[in-house]
Amino acid sequence: MKIVVVVDVGAWAVKVLVAADGRIIKKFQFPSAVGLETNGALSTFRSGNEEIIEVRPKIDGTTYRVSLRQNQQVADHSRPTPGDDFQISRAHDALLAAALHAAEVPHIDVLVIGTPVHTYLKHAENLKKWSGTVDFGLGKRILVVKTLVLPQPYGSLLAGKNERVIEREEHINHIILDVGHYSTDVLTTKGGLAVNDDRSFGIGFGTAVVYQKIADMIASDLRLPVTDLDRIEYSIRSRSQYIAHSRHFDLNGEYLQRVQAHIEVIVSDLYGRIKTTEDISSVLLTGGGSGIFERAVRKIFRSTRVCIISDPIHANARGYLIAGHSSL
């Protein structure tokens, strides 16, 4: 049986697909949040209805805690600080280790992982260290025969073509716009699946800056501090009520509207760096921030068709799977 495991380690969430002989046998996602072992007074106390699914991988002698709980309102641990070196940090390795552990396969024929576009050169070689026998002190070893490292939005390009969201013809070019939490990646094609290097890049802005702006606006309206972006994020994502300092705020209506101008500035900056869109057939919006950025993208890229891939959070992973299978 040929096993392909793909892990899209984003700064916000880790997305995992496990396939056996071409069929997906497991799909899961968990927050990109890691903690260290604690010895707090209540560290061993759990209330009766608290569901704990935690993995404790050991990386370079340090034990990390990674919670696999899905749909968390607020992550159990803190998210790693965004930065160019996330892909070579211990936090990243702990998340990847947790993903491989939870994949529950002792043998992986192809492991596919990704890096943001702007750090691909810097980190791709280093990430290939995830081949051979890997052991995270969790009582089992995993054999990884081959590791493939892709620029993250390349996954969405493959998925978009495979799912016929964008044209597959050789001579048609596309822009893949992957809006993540801390970063946004742009990948422009140069015929078929070739990447146009000059017009592919990443910036260190994503949905987190939008949540920060909203926090600043609420703080200024209230004249009180507002610092918890996770609560703002959750309320927007789940369209649930948001309360701060005992007052209700309409985030999805009023505040997302007020923050539009800021999103447009980010998108205009990207638009400028792509240089021209005259050869572009469509902009494929992907990543968890697709919905929040859609209006601004349609406005700024007004002469180009804009499409959103279905289930944009998992689109890179779906494409990684295609790449993994073709490299078997």
Ligand X SMILES: Nc1ncnc2c1ncn2[C@@H]1O[C@H](COP(=O)(O)OP(=O)(O)OP(=O)(O)O)[C@@H](O)[C@H]1O
Binding site for ligand X (CB under 6 A): 10-13, 32, 180-183, 206-207, 233, 237, 287-289, 291-292, 313
Identify what 206 binds: ligand X, Mg ion, none; CB under 5 to 8 Å per kind: ligand X
Measured CA to CA, the distance from residue 312 to residue 178 in angstroms comes to 9
Q: Residue 13 or 323: which CB sits closer to ligand X? A: 13
At 316, is the secondary structure helix, strand, or coil?
helix
Nearest distance in Å: CB 7, ligand X: 12
> Least distance from C-beta 149 to ligand X, angstroms?
15
- Closer residue to Mg ion (CB): 136 or 154: 154
In this complex, which beta carbon is closest to ligand X, that of residue 58 or of residue 237? 237
How far apart, in whole angstroms, are the C-alpha atoms of residue 146 and residue 24?
19
What, of ligand X, Mg ion, none, does residue 207 touch, CB below 5 to 8 Å by kind?
A: ligand X
- Least distance (Å) between residue 120 CB and Mg ion: 13
Distance in Å, CB of 260 to ligand X, minimum: 15
Point out which residues bind Mg ion (CB under 5 A): 10, 180
Instruction: State how far the alpha carbon of 299 is from the alpha carbons of 134, 185, 264, in Å.
Output: 47, 19, 8
Shortest distance, position 257 Cβ to Mg ion, whole Å:
26
Residue 311, both tokens:
């289930």
Select 25 or 256, whichever has its Cβ closest to ligand X: 256
Pairing between β-strand 23-31 and β-strand 13-20 as defined by DSSP bridges: antiparallel
Residues 225, 232: Cα–Cα separation, whole Å:
13
Q: Which string of b and e fits 278-287 if b means at least 16 CB within 10 Å?
A: eebbbbbbbb
- 96 Cβ contact list (under 8 Å, min separation 6): 7, 9, 14, 113, 130
User: Given the complex with ligand X, which of 88 and 105 has the nearer CB atom?
Assistant: 88
Cβ atoms within 10 A of the Cβ of 59, count?
A: 18
109 vs 233, which CB is nearer to ligand X? 233
Partner touching 65 among Mg ion, ligand X, none, CB below 5 to 8 Å by kind: none
